[in-house]
Amino acid sequence: MKTIDLRSDTVTQPTEAMRVAMMAAPLGDDVFGDDPTVNALQNRIAAITGKAAALFMPSGTQSNLCGILAHCGRGDEYIVGQLAHTYRYEGGGAAVFGSVQPQPLTQDAQGRMALADIAAAIKPDDPHFARTRLLCLENTWNGHVMPDDYLREATALARQQGLATHLDGARVFNAAVASAAPGQGAHARVREIADHFDSLSVCFSKGLGAPVGSALCGSQELIQSARRIRKMAGGGLRQAGLLAACALHALDHHVDRLADDHANARRLAEGLSGIEGLTVKSAETNIVFVDVADSRGPALLDFLKANGVLATGLIGLRFVTHLDVDAAGIDHAIATVRRFFAETSAVPAGAARTGPY
Ligand SMILES: *Cc1c(COP(=O)(O)O)cnc(C)c1O
């Protein structure tokens, strides 16, 4: 039985064509700036995002870290969502490695911090306060596309107050494909989103299906500074063109097909709706969040696993679609969830099993 792995869009295997591109890539030592494939990727993603320069990174975490540390110094502060990846899921790296203080703010269900909260969190120049330097947003956030109006208003507010702006765009290609105007290409739409920001980080290793890699995009000056920080962080790679070739292949072949992942996420959401005890919370791009009303969530995950379907349960049940899952796999996942709810009964509220019985 083939496993339907919906834990994340990071689980994809490189396609045969991607492996061929990898084997054919001309290589050099990228710490000397000599790797032609890395240089081609950096030029390509800089052009797509409309930034002067870009830097290939081993991971999105390192890309965000180098971005934040290039914008902020010791004793500076960045404003970020309470549930944003850079704040919550990156080990506190900006504080640990950069002595940069995060100022987390509450987000709404779409991931937006209120503009009034952002304005109130920007500190005056006073020795009591950290220096507020940077606003960091995320798009998509938990699969939600940030509306353009919000991106415009939040970044304009930051700029008026002298702050720089950074986008954690790990899934910005998903945002672009989901929100492009009719006839508008995904690359043009990425550019539109990126235009609001001084810098952005994009992942090639998520929906785009490359095995490894992200890029930080920004001004020449910012990227020069980030290159120094990346080296300190141990991220200076040598014949990294092997990996960059996969990312280039992904940009050529795996962007428009993100629409298939979004369609599969909708198919899953529709298939799961109407099951008693289950609430489908959202499915705007390639991530479907599901709430299980009673305490059957962990048992459902186990049942799915026993039947060849993997999902995660960190913040509610999460299913992520990607290029290694097709509609038949989605239908199997739906049928398995339905079977679970047909075969088990709700545990009464307050009677959840917490200890050995
Ligand atoms: C995955 C992810 C990252 C980090 O990427 P890694 O390559 O896993 O380090 C950053 N931000 C968001 C929103 C992500 O989903």
Residue 136, class by beta-carbon neighbours within 10 Å (0-12 exposed, 13-18 middle, 19+ buried)? buried
Q: Which distant-in-sequence residues (6+ apart) come within 8 Å of 191 by Cβ? A: 48, 49, 50
CA distances from 297 to 122, 134, 302, 311, 344 (A): 40, 38, 9, 11, 12
Distance CA 248, CA 160 (A): 36
The answer to whether residue 264 sits within a structural domain is: yes
Instruction: For residues 332 and 335, give the distance between their C-alpha atoms in angstroms, rounded to a whole number.
Output: 5
Whole-number pLDDT of residue 353: 43
Q: Do 241 and 135 reside in the same domain of the chain?
A: yes
CATH number at 269 reads 3.90.1150.10
Domain closes at, from 198, 221, 253: 253
d(CA 207, CA 286): 8
Instruction: Please report the pLDDT score of residue 276 as a whole number.
Output: 87
Both 235 and 285 in a single domain?
no
Say if residues 40 and 27 touch (Cβ distance below 8 Å): no
Tokens of 57: 């990174």
Residue 277: the pLDDT is 83
Of 221, 253, 285, the last residue of a domain is 253
Q: Is-cis flag, bond preceding 132, omega within 30?
A: no
Measured from the CA of 206, which atom of ligand 1 is nearest?
A: 1
Strands 101-105 and 76-81: parallel
355 in a structural domain: no
Asked whether residue 146 is domain-assigned, the answer is: yes
Same domain, 95 and 35: yes
Residue 168 CB–ligand 1 contact under 6 Å: yes
**Is residue 120 classed exposed, middle or buried when 0-12, 13-18 and 19+ CB atoms within 10 A define those classes?**
exposed
Asked if residue 209 has its Cβ within 6 Å of ligand 1, the reply is no
pLDDT of residue 350: 53
Same-domain pairing of 116 and 231: yes
Give the DSSP letter of residue 218: E
> Could you count the other beta carbons within 10 Å of the beta carbon of residue 298?
13
Residue 355 pLDDT:
33
Establish if 142 belongs to a structural domain: yes
State whether 171 and 123 are in the same domain: yes
Cβ of residue 205 lying under 6 Å from some atom of ligand 1 = yes
d(CA 110, CA 146): 7
Q: How many CA atoms lie within 13 A of 32 on its CB side?
A: 7
Quickly list H helices, the chain.
16-24, 36-49, 60-71, 85-88, 93-98, 115-121, 148-160, 172-179, 186-194, 220-232, 241-253, 258-272, 297-306, 327-343
Please indicate, yes or no, whether residues 317 and 182 belong to a single structural domain of this protein.
Answer: no
> Domain for residue 282, yes or no?
yes
| 352 lies in some domain | no
Within this chain, do residues 220 and 270 fall inside the same structural domain, yes or no?
A: no
Q: Are residues 176 and 28 in the same domain?
A: yes
Whether residue 30 has its Cβ less than 6 Å from ligand 1: no
The residue out of 253, 288, 309 marking a domain boundary is: 253
pLDDT at position 98: 96
Taking the centre of ligand 1 as the mean of its atom positions, its distance from the CA of residue 12, in whole angstroms, is 15
Contact 90, 75 (CB under 8 A): no
Compute the distance between CA of residue 133 and CA of residue 297 in angstroms, rounded to an integer: 41
Give yes or no: residues 112 and 226 share one domain. Answer: yes
Phi, psi for 50 (deg, rounded to 5): 75, 25
Task: Specify the pLDDT at position 30.
Answer: 97
Return the pLDDT at 281: 85
249 and 262 in a single domain? The answer is: no
- Regarding whether 195 and 77 lie in a shared domain, the answer is yes
Could you tell me the distance, in angstroms and rounded to a whole number, from the CA of residue 85 to the centre of ligand 1? 7
Half-sphere exposure of 327 (CA within 13 A, CB side): 6
Residue among 83, 89, 139 whose CB has most ligand 1 atoms within 8 A, to mutate: 89
Number of domains, the chain? 2
Locate tokens 């987000």: which residue? 107
Are 220 and 77 part of one and the same domain? yes
- C-alpha 44 – ligand 1 centre gap (Å): 21
Residue 346 is predicted with a pLDDT of 66
Which domain, by its residues, includes 21?
14-253
Model pLDDT, residue 348: 55
pLDDT in tens, the chain (357 residues): 789 999 999 999 999 999 999 999 999 999 999 999 999 999 999 999 999 999 999 999 999 999 999 999 999 999 999 999 999 999 999 999 999 999 999 999 999 999 999 999 999 999 999 999 999 999 999 999 999 999 999 999 999 999 999 999 999 999 999 999 999 999 999 999 999 999 999 999 999 999 999 999 999 999 999 999 999 999 999 999 999 999 999 999 999 999 999 999 999 999 999 898 899 987 799 999 999 988 889 999 999 999 999 999 876 899 999 999 999 999 999 999 999 999 887 665 555 444 332
The pTM assigned to this predicted structure is 0.95
Is residue 174 within 6 Å of ligand 1 at its C-beta?
no
**For residue 164, what is the domain's CATH number?**
3.40.640.10
- The token pair that represents 342 in the structure block: 């047909």
CA of 264 to the centre of ligand 1 (A): 22
In a domain, 235, yes or no: yes
Measured in degrees and rounded to the nearest 5, phi and psi for residue 56 equal: -75, 140
Q: Which residue's CA is the nearest one to ligand 1's atom 5?
A: 60
Task: Report helix angle 186-194 to 148-160, nearest 10.
Answer: 30
| Ligand 1 close to Cβ of residue 146 (< 6 A) | no
